[in-house]
Structures are given as C-alpha cells and as structure tokens.
Amino acid sequence: MAHKTTLKAIAEHLNLSISTVSKALADSPEISDSTKLVVKTAARQLKYRPNAMARGLKSSRTKTLGVVIPNIMHNFFAKVIVGMEEEAAKNGYSLVTCISNESLQKEKQSINMLSDVSVDAIIISLSSETQQTEELEHLNDILYFDIPLVQFDRIHENLNSHSVVINDFKGAYDSVMHLHKTGCKNIALLSILSDTSVGKKRAQGYEAAIQELGADSKIINTKLEHLEKDLSDFLEENELDGIVTTDESSAIYAMNALRLNKRAVPEDVGVIGFTDGALARNYFPALTTVKQQAEIIGKRTIQLAIESIESKTKLEPVQEVIETELVIRNSTSPVQQK
Amino acid sequence: MAHKTTLKAIAEHLNLSISTVSKALADSPEISDSTKLVVKTAARQLKYRPNAMARGLKSSRTKTLGVVIPNIMHNFFAKVIVGMEEEAAKNGYSLVTCISNESLQKEKQSINMLSDVSVDAIIISLSSETQQTEELEHLNDILYFDIPLVQFDRIHENLNSHSVVINDFKGAYDSVMHLHKTGCKNIALLSILSDTSVGKKRAQGYEAAIQELGADSKIINTKLEHLEKDLSDFLEENELDGIVTTDESSAIYAMNALRLNKRAVPEDVGVIGFTDGALARNYFPALTTVKQQAEIIGKRTIQLAIESIESKTKLEPVQEVIETELVIRNSTSPVQQK
DNA sequence: CTGAAAGCGCTAACAG
DNA sequence: CTGTTAGCGCTTTCAG
C-alpha cells in the first residue's frame, strides 16, 4: 500500500514547514523564488496531488457541481450532460450526476447526498413525480442553506432559482404552423408529457396555433406503452393529417402505428417530433423535428451555476429561454406554394 | 445565510459533548438509550446531516465511486450507467461520472480529479485513444496507490485489475452463424471499432466463424462518417448478402446505404448489429441485434468495485464475461429449414 | 455512561 | 521570507 504524498511528506522530505510548502505551491508572494522552485520540483517528483476533501473542509468550496436528471436514456438529457460536462471542465469544476428515474423519492435522496458531499451548486431537471405532486420542500431546503440552485428544462416557477428552458411554447406553435403550410387541416397533439412543465407549455403553444388557424383542437394524452393503440383508436373515429408529438420516440411510434393503419408519411399525414436525436435523423422517413439545442442548455445552466457560486451577492433569479429550431426532413410534405 | 447544523451545534443545544453526540448518532453501545433518543430527536429537528467531507477526511472512505466512460451519447454506455447508478445507490454509494470523449488527455484529467476527491474506487471503460496508444501510466498510478480499479467493456489486459466484458467473440461468431443459417453466403464485417479491444474481439469471432464455414473473410474498417460511401464502393466490386456491424448506428447507416444501392433488407442482404437500443427496435425494418445486457454489466462492475473496497485483502483480478443474446428481428431473413 | 483530546490534510492569520 | 498555530467537522482512543 503506497501512501499518497501529503504536504507533510514533502515538508519532511525538504526540511521545511508544512505551511511554507503550502504557500510555495500556491505561489504566494511571501515565498522566495528559490524555495518555490525546490518545493515544486519535489512535489512533482513525489507526484503530489492536493487532497480535495481536506481543502474543501477548510474552504467549503469543493469545485464540484451536483446534477440530477430524470433519465439518462433520453437523448435530450444525455446531450445536456455532454454540454454540462464540457463547460464544467473548462472552468475547473467536476460533475457528480444522479438519476432520479422520474421518482420524487429518488430525487430527494440525490439532493440529500449532494448536499452531504458539499457540492458548490445543485442543478436539476425535475422528475415527473415531483412536477405532479408539486412537493418542493427538499429543494427549498437547498435554497434555505444558500446553496445555489439552477433548474433546467423541467422546472417549477415557484422555486426561487435561476432556470434555463427551451421555448416550448414556440416550438409547438411553429410545428403546427409548419404542418399547416404543408397543407394539413387536422392537426393533433400527441403527448406523453402532459404532467410535466414542458408538456404543458407545448400544449399551450399547440392550442394557440390551432386557435389562430381557427381549427379544432385534438389533444391525445397517452403513455409510450399505449401510444400505438391509442393512436389507432383515434384514427378510426377522427380525421387526421398532421401530428405533433412531444418527443422523439413518440414520433417514431406514431409513424409505426400509421404504417400499420395504412397511412403514408408524409403523404397522408405529416409528423413532427421534439428532440433531434439519432432516431430522428436516421429513421425512414427521416423525422422533421424541433431541435432543442441541448448542449447549449447544458452550457448555459453550468454558467449560471458558476456565476451564482462566484458572485458574493445573491443575484435575482433569471430565466434564460433558449430558442428552438425546426429541422425539416422527410416526415412532412414540402411547403405548398400559394 | 442559514448555517448547516453540525455536531457542535447540536451538542451545544443539548449541553452535551461533541463526542457523545457523535456516538449517540452512530448508535454506539457506550451511550444510554435515553440520551440516544434525545440526541436523535434533536438531530432530526435541526435537520442534521453529517458532512461527508469531514467524515471522509477522517476515515478515508467517501462512499463515492468514480466512473469514466468514453461517450454518454452511446446507448450502450448510457444503459451501463443506469445499471451502475442503481446498484451503487442500493449499496449507499454515489457515482461521480466523467466523460473522456475518447481522448487520452481528458481521461487522464478525469482520473486525476477522481483521485483528488478521494473516490473509493475507479471504474473505467478506456477511451479509444488510450487503447490505440496503450498509454496506461495514469491507470497504473491508481493501482499503485491501492485504489480499487475495475475496467469494463473496453479494457486492457495488461492492467492488473478486475474487469467485466461481454463475450464479443461469441456475439460476432453467433451473428455470422445466424446469417449463414438464413442463407447468406457472402458475409462481411463492417467495423468502426477496429482500434478498440471490443472491435478486435468481434473481428476474431467473425474470422473464426467465417473460417469454420470455409467462406471468404471480408472486413471493412471505416468510420461512421465514411461508412455509407465505403460500403457503396465495396458493393460495386464484391458479392455481398450479409453484414455484421460492430454497433447500432453502423447498422442503420448500412441499411440506408443498402437502400440507396437498391438492395432490399433482408431479402438481398441480411444485417445484424451490436447494441440493442431504441434505434434497433424502432427502425424499419427492425434490426436483428446482439443484445449486450448493458445494465447487467453496470451492476456487476459496481459489485466488483464494492467488493474490492470492502475486502481487506487484495483479491486476485477476476474477469467476468457476460454472455450476449441474439435478438432476432426483421433485418434478417427467417432461418432456412433443411 | 460521558467527556477531553488528538488528528485526518489543508489553509491562513499571526509571529518571528 | 519562514514557521507556529488554530481550526474546518468528524471519529476515535483514552480517561474519568
């Protein structure tokens, strides 16, 4: 068992005091250049690495950020994490990531654990259970202890924290309008997110567009497991030539259901999904999607967190809205010329 | 700014010594039941949570595991993480996750950082750059300091550590044999992983099967970006009615290229990929794949790590091999009856 | 049964 | 310019 070298070890090695070594390594002006050189050389030779825990205990700064997400298998969240990781690393922070798995209970546990290990800030996208029950005590505790909190994507407005979201309203609105321009008359919203904040925003955007067009609102709330059946049932009794879904998998499932019901995409019905992942790009037909700029969301979220940590004064909560972009592929017909 | 309550705070609150409180909370037999009760009640009221850093400093146990993976956008790794997270949480450990992004440099940084924060063990799947350059010093350092190391999936045999891998050899072998049984005569391996350990194992499995069948080996090494072009070029000059790819995306790209070259899947050419993700399940035609049991890999890896941590004596490195399973879907023809 | 004290590795105020 | 000291929050002997 080799010992990790500590300040003490290198101090003894050089017949210096611990504090001299500490200061030398910190490039303190109190220390002469000659000893700095000696110390730094020794440190390198002995492969010295400061113990982050000891340092953290002293300074109550750990240079780690805690993030809790509902689900890593979802392409959007995975991408967000990539953006976060990059931005955090760039600023000398590291990430400890927890997965709530859409469970309030697990989310609470994660928050507690992150608080236990003294992360400098907590970043969260709410689990769907949290959004349903609106139980926020665990998060208010965090705020109470003045630990910077940043919410992203699935947020709760009552929480007094920074947040970064995409413009879900506009994403849905634009989707409906685009389908309309390609000639669709009967456009439905197929949602598996009706109890999350983003699902609600998207529904509002959908409604607004439908209203503006003077069309009939058709919202199908379902779960991924029942989607194909629910959509098939719906098709039996309703006119339908356009579908906006709240995510990527739903769009794929919807297209599969349409195929089974002998409807051609995009000729008979146009389909638009959210989240621009591998499925969307590579399916046949390739899916027209609302691109969420997930990496950018991750980046901005980390930036806000670091700002909060490093500013002494408490800042007013800001809400950052990242615009979406409609990526047009082959699951929608070409826009009709007038 | 509210203070987090410490042992000291609750000791003062109750006119007890810090050590009594500490012991009471730890359920030490030295302490009377009555004071235990008092202390625990107070702790709950004051929302006491032990500071993990302070505890870690003392005990040099942090109950955190560091994991570094090459890429989180890859379905396989995301799934592995899910399995790990679950198993870790079950045992009271938490995960700090780093992404090497296939870069040796980033992998070194991550390892250093994990060592700095005193994780109890490090879990890694090597970046492709690491596997190419075979530079292992950073990992040997870890071993030198007796920090338990567990490798998974992309491993290096020279490292004296536990590892868990899938049976890549057999996965590839079985794939070729299955294609053969569906009537394929000219089966190629399409690899974008030729410089990783798993890519090599799969190539060996492929070769073994081809040899056994007395057929000609056709290996196409490429990158995802050039895959469609390389495959199209290959098709111009070679007979081909079966393809095994080293991953899911490659299989999808291959099918797209086949479509462009007017070959029907599975009628003209059968396709099998590795990794059983959303793409494979939902593409049209649905992809026959080698299922990697990613969650199980994650689980076993964590178990090995925890065993290493908690056993006093150093154990002999074991290599755990998780068997794959061929999931048969529509990208391959039915098996021919004799 | 309870408390005093040392120490984990580090930083920083204060002496020298 | 260098060293001594105290203390971050906790665990753990060792006394009482």
Helix, coil or strand: residue A221: strand
Output the pLDDT for position B251: 94
Structure tokens at A154: 């699935």
Residue A9: closest CA among A55, A46, A35: A46
Q: How confident is the model at residue A245 (pLDDT cuts 50, 70, 90)?
A: very high
Q: What value does the mean pLDDT take over residues B74-100? A: 91
Interface touch A282/B252, C-beta < 8 Å: yes
Rounded to whole angstroms, the Cα distance separating B306 from B148 reads 9
Q: How far is A81 from chain B (nearest CA, A)?
A: 8
Output the pLDDT for position B128: 92
Encode pLDDT of A258-306 as tens digits: 988 999 999 999 999 999 887 888 888 899 999 999 999 999 999 999 9
Q: What share of chain B is helix, strand, coil (3-state, %, to 5)?
A: 45, 15, 35
Q: Which CATH superfamily is domain A168-292 in?
A: Response regulator (3.40.50.2300)
Residues of A whose CB is below 8 A from B253: 282
Q: Are strands B319-322 and B162-166 parallel, antiparallel or unpaired?
A: parallel
Encode pLDDT of B141-193 as tens digits: 999 888 999 999 999 999 999 999 999 999 999 999 999 999 999 999 999 99
Q: Output b/e per residue, A221-238; b: 16+ Cβ within 10 A.
A: ebeeeebbebbeebbeee
Q: What value does the mean pLDDT take over residues A151-159? A: 95
Does B285 sit behind a cis peptide bond, omega within 30 degrees of 0 on the bond before it?
yes
Maximum CA extent, chain B:
88
Q: What value does the mean pLDDT take over residues A35-58? A: 90
Q: Are strands A270-274 and A218-221 parallel, antiparallel or unpaired?
A: unpaired
Structure tokens at A193: 């997110």
Maximum CA extent, chain A:
88
- Residues with Cβ within 8 Å of B149's Cβ and at least 6 positions away in sequence, in order, are B121, B122, B123, B124, B139, B142, B143, B159, B161, B162
Task: List the end-to-end C-alpha distance of chain A, in Å, as a whole number.
Answer: 78
Q: How far is A61 from chain B (nearest CA, A)?
A: 11
Q: How confident is the model at residue A157 (pLDDT cuts 50, 70, 90)?
A: very high
Give yes or no for CB of A335 within 7 Å of strand D: no
Backbone phi and psi for residue B52, each to the nearest 5 degrees, phi listed first: -65, -30
Interface touch A78/B82, C-beta < 8 Å: no
Output the pLDDT for position B314: 74
Is the per-residue pLDDT at B281 higher than 90?
Answer: no
Output the pLDDT for position B168: 96
Is the per-residue pLDDT at A338 higher than 80?
Answer: no
Extract long-range pairs of B58-64: CB within 8 Å, 24+ residues apart. B60/B118, B61/B120, B61/B309, B62/A53, B62/A117, B62/B117, B62/B118, B62/B119, B62/B120, B63/B92, B63/B93, B63/B94, B63/B120, B64/A96, B64/A117, B64/B93, B64/B94, B64/B95, B64/B96, B64/B117, B64/B119, B64/B120
Give the Å distances, CA to CA, from A146 to A54, A156, A304, A313, B1.
22, 18, 15, 11, 6
What is the torsional sign of CA B194, B199, B200, B205? negative
Q: How confident is the model at residue B260 (pLDDT cuts 50, 70, 90)?
A: confident
Residue B286: closest CA among B266, B269, B267: B266
Q: Which of B178-182, B214-218, B309-313 has the lowest mean pLDDT?
A: B309-313
Output the pLDDT for position B59: 82
Backbone phi and psi for residue A115, each to the nearest 5 degrees, phi listed first: -65, -40
Q: How confident is the model at residue A59 (pLDDT cuts 50, 70, 90)?
A: confident
Is the per-residue pLDDT at A1 higher than 60?
Answer: no
Q: Where are the domains of chain A?
A: 7-48, 63-165+294-320, 168-292
Rounded to whole angstroms, the Cα distance separating A209 from A181 reads 12
Q: What value does the mean pLDDT take over residues A204-222? A: 96
B157 burial (CB, 10 Å; 0-12 / 13-18 / 19+) is: exposed
Q: How far is A172 from chain B (nearest CA, A)?
A: 24
Percent of chain B with pLDDT over 90: 73
Output the pLDDT for position B230: 95
Backbone phi and psi for residue B275, each to the nearest 5 degrees, phi listed first: 80, 120
Q: What value does the mean pLDDT take over residues A58-76? A: 90
Kindly identify which residue of chain B lies nearest to residue A48, measuring between CA atoms. Answer: B116
Rounded to whole angstroms, the Cα distance separating B156 from B138 reads 13
Output the pLDDT for position B1: 55
Give yes or no for CB of B116 within 7 Å of strand C: no
Q: Output b/e per residue, A314-331; b: 16+ Cβ within 10 A.
A: eeeeeebebebebeebeb
Q: What is the CATH number of domain A63-165+294-320?
A: 3.40.50.2300
Output the pLDDT for position B2: 66
**Helices first, then strands: H and E counts in chain A:** 14, 12
| Cβ atoms A202, A235 nearer than 8 A | no
- CATH topology agreement for domains B63-165+294-320 and B168-292: yes
Helix (H) or strand (E) holding A191: strand A187-191
Is the per-residue pLDDT at B58 higher than 80?
Answer: yes
Which residue is associated with the tokens 């670091």?
Answer: A306
Residues of B whose CB is below 8 A from A252: 278, 282
Encode pLDDT of B14-25 as tens digits: 999 999 999 999
Is the per-residue pLDDT at B320 higher than 90?
Answer: yes
CB contacts < 8 A, A to B, total 125
Give yes or no for CB of B58 within 7 Å of strand C: yes
Q: Give the mean pLDDT of chain A.
A: 92
Q: Which A positions 156-195 lie with beta carbon below 8 A of chain B?
A: none
Rounded to whole angstroms, the Cα distance separating B122 from B64 reads 9
Residue B84: closest CA among B115, B125, B49: B125
- Identify the residue among A97, A260, A331 best suited for mutation to test binding to B, counting B beta carbons within 10 A and taking the highest: A97
Is the per-residue pLDDT at A2 higher than 80?
Answer: no
Q: How many residues does chain B have?
A: 338
Q: What is the Cα B76 distance to its own chain's centre?
A: 7
Q: Give the mean pLDDT of chain B.
A: 92
